[in-house]
Chain A
Amino acid sequence: MPTPAPSELTSLQTLFYAAISQAADPASLAALEPMLHCSGSLSVKEGFAAYRGSVKGKLIRCLEDIYPVCQRLVGDNFFGGLTEQFIMTYASVSPDLGDYGAELPAFIKTFTPAEALPYLADVAQLEWHWHRVFNAPDEKAFDMQALSQVAAEQWESLVFQLPRSSVLLRSIYPVHRIWEANQDGVTDSVPVDLDQGGANLFIWRDGVETRIEMPGDGEWRLLEGFAARTTFGQLCADLDQGLASVDASVLLPVFVKRGWVKSFVLGEG
């Protein structure tokens, strides 16, 4: 049996965390101070400030790394204010800092100073998805041999699966154009016309290369069906009713070849 944590350690760490978190709970700070001492050049107050500043710096640098386009769009001061408010609201809940910041797109929608930038939340969403796909675990190639062994009568029950890390993102703004125009090294981009229409984007990774695709209407319908884990039979029927020009049996091998479909399972028949 593992040794249980000493109870004093649990309470001490709870207080310590509350004292150095960005909300800096004054009651926790007051409760902790008698338990600490100084014997050198560093005061307790300076010690707390050092931790608080270090933690804050790490979280802000993490958000800057994940959301460089948003930062570029709004400028350092605005982004600094946004991230400062965000880290006051959201704590990190993972040892991996790459997991921090998922809620920023939704937070932007509630951030009053960003009201004049209605596309910003969607750009942030694109950046978050790009970051997650970029760092996702590698996936195995599609098992064609296993598919060839599926009996013909079972095909209607097959559920084809997109890469686990892939994402479908729909925006009423041309977020992909905004994203492209604000990449490092892009200096001669044409201004993006927000009225040019929205975008349906498929974000996935081809080997080690993260890609943002703009599928056509039929491809998008099929991708949505796969993402919803619809059986192949149902999907074909749905597409027949909605978009007569989409033939799932033609698109499926194309998707497999591109790497947009990575696996399959037998669903409910």
Chain B
Amino acid sequence: MAGRPGSSAVIGLLLLALLGAGVVVAATMGFMKVPAGQVLQIIFDALRGRGSGPDPVVVAVVMDVRLPRILAAVLVGGGLAVCGAVFQAILLNPLADPYTLGISSGAAFGASLVIVLQVFGLVLPSLFAVPLFAFFGAVATLFVVLALASGDRRLSSTSLILSGVIVAAILSAAIGFLKFLADEQVGIIIFWLMGSLSGASWPNFWVLGPVTMLGTAIAFHYSRDLNIMATGERTAVTLGVDTVRLRRILLVTASLVTAVCVSVAGIIGFVGLIVPHLLRALVGPDNRWLVPLSFLGGGLLLLSADTLTRAVLPAEVPIGVLTALIGGPFFCVIFKRRQRDDGAI
């Protein structure tokens, strides 16, 4: 088994370097090729608050079109992966993530509701109303899913995921109904269903950044308690962990982060499932490493996927479709292996 502090730190630094390089490389790619040196020049000039560059069009493409989307991809990917790690640790379930628990769908429903309310004349400031409604949708969904699964006292994987799937199915029908009501605004709702970062802007970044960072910090703060949770509720209490409080704080935090991610990028599945899983194989299950590394790994994964669909593929495939195409089979493999090992993952 890998996974002791030294190698974990190396993997962390490696991910950080890859992520930094990835941001620059992604900014060079697209319809207009921009050399890496020029990208760096533009970013540094912007950080120093100077207008720069010979060509204002290039500056606009990098600063106003590409960078907000690239940074949003990093933050959404990182946020979803941290949520996945948190849900998995709290619910003792390696199959849990915002998507499989139906929480992403709940957030998308909340977000769609804002659009429909606009159609009926109630115009809310969407920069804040969308994440807020998404949050209410996410929390409500979480409660329903946990209540549905709670008859099973051990909250076993299958009953929890089944509850998530059932609730997600109902929600997707409800979103279908909203689509019907939304009339001309239907395009925006379809966007939420498929997941896409094409609409990401700087204002989105200023909401995403603080929320995902804060969420990751909170998860990291409780990371040792999350480790203790792996011994089960009863033993965790005898080890001095206030499991009720921990669960409340972290489930609300993860729902908030999910909601903000969904309100910017729509439903992007399986990132929260794949990333903590791969990292656990690399650095072991210690959440003190897993939480921060999940943020970096998730950011790198979604940035790669988004750059692939934006700049490499001939036509832009919605990123939610792409991650589901990769993540679905991955989920099947984990599910199958779990059955064989009797939950021993």
On whether the two chains bind one another, the answer is no
Spell out B's residues near A (CB within 8 Å). Answer: none
